[in-house]
Chains A and B, each alone.
Chain A
């Protein structure tokens, strides 16, 4: 080949290389642009509605009087149940798989199954909950049902986060602990768990933020969209001062309230939906941002 042709080809290759570099950058930016547009759009539509009254009012037929009081209270209560289910169960399962599980068919089966569960669409969990919690165990359309459903949904996320952060702990730590005469459980309790705390917490926060935004399984379970009252207070004036009656109360959550407002034809309700969307979006972004920051910090600080 003559030199001129080779030169041309090199130039062409360089050009393609640069062109792809630009295309890559632009493609990466699409996500940012969407996220940015989404936030701006919600704020333009809904920001004027974000008054104190909006947080302290029940839903209403009149869009300007309606608020998200029962929704945010419901979300908090459901999340308590979700965390109480998924966190202990998920951490325990994660510890078993990393520290105890031998390389046999049972551990292998649990692992494959966990990966598969993480890929099951959330609405299928809703169907499971509808048949099992609502009708078979007769929990009804209650906070307990909603919390348990979301707990099952985020269980694989907690397990995976627990396993990853336990795996990052070098074996020398375990051996040092055994050498001092500690039992397996003592080693786990005093060394493995404290050292993997950051990673586990990150996974739990990301899981809970997903549960907060999850709508489909809660609709399937039959959460009501119009709730103009609060569940029973968990603190009572009589002995024993703690009441668990709220677990069986009907409820609504933030994303359901937002969905309800979106599906109405009047624009005034769409403004309410946007305002609820801002609250929901900020909440999940803050939780995720915090989790990402924590992961970054823990990764920097710990050098084995």
Chain B
């Protein structure tokens, strides 16, 4: 039996329409890359790449502007480092607990609530870091500045626990039961099995989880824009105010920056730095994730 021609045409048209929608994602990526490169190229016509990468001062809005990206990168890495110190160990422990220890019913309740933690708007976390956590920390660290890297770092760390724990847990779940049973049969406790058998077997997945967590922390904006201050500061001291790449973009966008000026282009220069950092991590994470499936 042959279908009617009109049906065939309609089927074909729909397929092409759907393909077009799927291709839109490629269009978005291409536009992001093109726009960041195009505007940043305009920036590098006025500022040498060498100055950008090695300059120790970032004062683009001053009368005598300096365009060294290092303070912003340093601020980003400092806050990310603090967040990672909080999120990675706790996220991993939560994943082990959920995958190896927790009974089914506990899991059923805990996992959705952990998801809610990732659903809270970041501006609310920013409020919390600035007006709740910082005053508390100031009681323990007397010379802690009102804006600092420590408080948003800690909050961001707790915020990304769900990302780290859910991907790690998935990786641990993928470890076949018989491997654990072998360990139990040798008389190992759950603790020994988790650390000596499950974690090494799930290594790629856990690495992917850590990388995803780090990438989230680098790209996070509002918590640092609110609670870390707006001071490009080349320091690794967590009690001082700093500025991250993301917070700089927010800070400039809040003012009225005319289109096409050098200040306008600086946010794209900061943006491309941020994009390349997260892109590198995302590719690395993707590579680790792919390896999970290949192991067994």
Interchain CB contact under 8 A, B21 and A117: no
A97's nearest neighbour on chain B, judged by CB, is B22
With contacts A155-B28, A259-B126, A277-B127 taken as known, whether A216 is within 8 angstroms of B250 at the C-beta atoms is yes
- Checking A27, A45, A115, A214 against B286 with a beta-carbon cut-off of 8 angstroms, the contacting residue is A115
Interchain CB contact under 8 A, B90 and A38: no
Q: Which of A148-180 contact B (CB under 8 A)?
A: 152, 155-156, 159
How far apart are the CA atoms of A209 and B119 in the complex, in Å?
A: 8
Q: Which of A260-281 contact B (CB under 8 A)?
A: 262-263, 270, 273-274, 277, 280-281
Interface of A, helix, strand, loop or mixed by DSSP: helix
CB distance from B163 to the nearest CB of A (A): 10
A288 CB-CB contact with B under 8 Å: yes
Residues of A within 8 Å of B162, CB to CB, are 31
Interchain CB contact under 8 A, A127 and B36: yes
B219's nearest neighbour on chain A, judged by CB, is A121
B177 CB-CB contact with A under 8 Å: no
Interchain CB contact under 8 A, B253 and A222: yes
- Checking A126, A255, A285 against B116 with a beta-carbon cut-off of 8 angstroms, the contacting residue is A285
A232 CB-CB contact with B under 8 Å: no
CB distance from A142 to the nearest CB of B (A): 15
How far apart are the CA atoms of A125 and B32 in the complex, in Å?
A: 8
B186 CB-CB contact with A under 8 Å: no
- Checking B23, B120, B128, B283 against A110 with a beta-carbon cut-off of 8 angstroms, the contacting residue is B23
B294 CB-CB contact with A under 8 Å: no
With contacts A92-B18, A258-B123 taken as known, whether A123 is within 8 angstroms of B249 at the C-beta atoms is yes
What is the number of residues of chain B that contact chain A, defined by CB distance less than 8 Å? 86
With contacts A127-B35, A131-B39, A273-B127 taken as known, whether A41 is within 8 angstroms of B132 at the C-beta atoms is yes
A48 CB-CB contact with B under 8 Å: no
B10 CB-CB contact with A under 8 Å: yes
- Checking A14, A89, A128 against B189 with a beta-carbon cut-off of 8 angstroms, the contacting residue is A14
Interchain CB contact under 8 A, B115 and A288: yes
- Checking B18, B123, B246, B285 against A123 with a beta-carbon cut-off of 8 angstroms, the contacting residue is B246
Residues of A within 8 Å of B282, CB to CB, are 115-116, 119-120
B235 CB-CB contact with A under 8 Å: no
Residues of A within 8 Å of B189, CB to CB, are 13-14, 16-17
Residues of B within 8 Å of A89, CB to CB, are 21, 24
How far apart are the CA atoms of A28 and B91 in the complex, in Å?
A: 8
- Checking B17, B161, B275 against A120 with a beta-carbon cut-off of 8 angstroms, the contacting residue is B275
With contacts A93-B18, A100-B15 taken as known, whether A124 is within 8 angstroms of B158 at the C-beta atoms is no
CB distance from A97 to the nearest CB of B (A): 6
Interchain CB contact under 8 A, B120 and A23: no
What is the number of residues of chain A that contact chain B, defined by CB distance less than 8 Å? 90
Chain B proximity mask over A58-86: 1 for CB below 8 Å, otherwise 0: 00000000000000000000000000000
Q: Which of B158-202 contact A (CB under 8 A)?
A: 158, 161-162, 189-192, 194
Q: Which of A106-139 contact B (CB under 8 A)?
A: 109-110, 112-117, 119-128, 130-132, 135
CB distance from B242 to the nearest CB of A (A): 17
Chain B proximity mask over A204-227: 1 for CB below 8 Å, otherwise 0: 001001101111100111100100
Interchain CB contact under 8 A, B124 and A213: yes
With contacts A17-B191, A117-B25 taken as known, whether A126 is within 8 angstroms of B131 at the C-beta atoms is no
**Could you jot down 27 A-B contacts, CB within 8 Å?**
A13-B192, A16-B189, A24-B93, A24-B96, A28-B114, A31-B94, A31-B113, A31-B117, A35-B113, A96-B19, A110-B25, A113-B29, A119-B212, A119-B282, A123-B274, A126-B253, A127-B35, A127-B249, A127-B271, A128-B35, A131-B39, A155-B24, A209-B119, A221-B253, A222-B253, A259-B222, A284-B121
- Closest 3 A/B residue pairs (Cβ): A121-B219, A213-B121, A24-B97
Beyond A13-B191, A93-B25, A121-B218, list 18 extra A-B contacts (CB 8 Å). A17-B190, A27-B97, A45-B131, A89-B21, A90-B21, A109-B26, A116-B282, A119-B212, A119-B281, A123-B219, A125-B32, A127-B271, A183-B7, A209-B119, A210-B119, A222-B253, A262-B226, A270-B131
> Measuring CB to CB, which residues of chain A are less than 8 angstroms from any residue of chain B?
13-14, 16-17, 20-21, 23-25, 27-28, 30-32, 34-35, 37-38, 41-42, 45, 88-90, 92-93, 95-97, 100-101, 109-110, 112-117, 119-128, 130-132, 135, 152, 155-156, 159, 183-185, 206, 209-210, 212-216, 219-222, 225, 255, 258-259, 262-263, 270, 273-274, 277, 280-281, 284-285, 287-289, 292
